[in-house]
Amino acid sequence: MSHSEKNNSIVLASTSPRRRELISRFHYPVSLCAPIAKEGPPKLNEAPTDYVERMAVLKAESARHNMSTSDLIIGADTIVWSNNEIFGKPSSGHDASMMLRFLRNSTHNVSTSMVLIAPDREDILIQTSTVSVTMRDYSDAEIEEYVKTGDPMDKAGAYAIQHKGFHPVKTFEGCYTSVLGLPLCTLSISLRRYGVKISTVECGVGIDSQYYAASPKLKIDNAVDKGDLS
C-alpha cells in the first residue's frame, strides 16, 4: 500500500443515489460504476456482519474487472438487523409495513461494510461500522402514509433515517453517515492511507448530524480537520 499522497483515480461501485451524494462531499473526482453482482441471501448460520462484509466484497470485486489497473475501487453494503435476523429491502408494501411494525419503539442495528481495493489489486481493506438505532413509537397510520410514498421500497429495513416526513428514528449511537450507507469519517481516513489528497472528516460533524444533535446518545465533536461536509 502506498502512503505517499498522489492523485489516485477513485471508482465507487454503487447504484445508490445516497452513497453517490455522500462521496461527492469530498469534492474529489469519483467515477461511478454499477456492480454486476447481485445480492444473495445469507448463508446458513451466517452472522449479519459476516454477511454484509461478503456482500460489500462481492460488489467491489464485480467492478474491478472492468476498471483500469490504476483505479482505487470502493464497494459498500448496508443491512438492518436485530437478534441476528437481517431485514432486507421489502418485497411489497405489506412487507414494508410489517418490518416497520416490528422495528417500532425498539432498538436494532445498522451495519455498513466498506471495501477498498488498491490499484495494485493486491491489497483489499474491509471495514465494518455498526450503529445502534432506536425507533420512535410511530402509529399505524404514520406507517401507512409513509409506505404510500414508496420511499421504503428500496431501503434495508424499509426506512430512511433522513426522511423528514416520517422521521422514524428516536435516537442512535454511532456514525450517522454509516446509517445512510457510507461512513465518511472512516472512509476519509482510509482514502488518505491510500494516498488520496482529501481532508479527514470527524464522526458526527456535518449538516446531517445537526438534525439529530438533540439526541442524548449522539456524541458530536465540535472540531473538524477542514473536512466540513456542508
Residue ranges and CATH numbers for the domains of the chain are 9-210 (3.90.950.10)
- pLDDT tens track for 5-28: 455 689 999 989 899 999 998 989
| In the chain, % of residues over pLDDT 70 | 83
Enclosing H/E stretch for 108: strand 107-117
Rounded-to-integer distance, Cα 132 and Cα 154, Å: 21
Residues forming a β-bridge with 30: 10
Q: Between 17 and 69, whose confidence is greater? A: 17
Residues serving a catalytic function are 77
Lowest mean pLDDT among 155-159, 186-190, 206-210: 206-210
| In the chain, % of residues over pLDDT 90 | 60
Q: Where does the pLDDT of residue 85 fall: very low under 50, low under 70, confident under 90, or very high at 90 and above?
A: very high
Please tell me whether residue 49 adopts helix, strand or coil conformation: helix
Q: Quick check: 188 and 201 in contact, CB under 8 A? A: yes
Q: Count other Cβ atoms within 10 Å, centred on residue 115.
A: 24
90: amino acid identity, one letter: P
Lowest mean pLDDT among 14-18, 48-52, 109-113: 14-18
- pLDDT tens track for 138-179: 999 999 999 999 999 999 999 999 898 999 999 998 889 999
Q: What is the pTM of this model?
A: 0.84
- pLDDT recorded at residue 213: 39
Q: How far is CA 103 from the centre of its chain?
A: 19
pLDDT at 49 > cutoff 90: yes
Q: Between 4 and 161, whose confidence is greater? A: 161
Mean pLDDT of the chain: 84
- pLDDT recorded at residue 228: 32
- pLDDT recorded at residue 6: 52
Q: For residue 111, which phi and psi values (nearest 5 degrees)?
A: -115, 130
The mean pLDDT of 214-229, rounded to a whole number, is 33
Lowest mean pLDDT among 46-60, 188-202, 210-224: 210-224
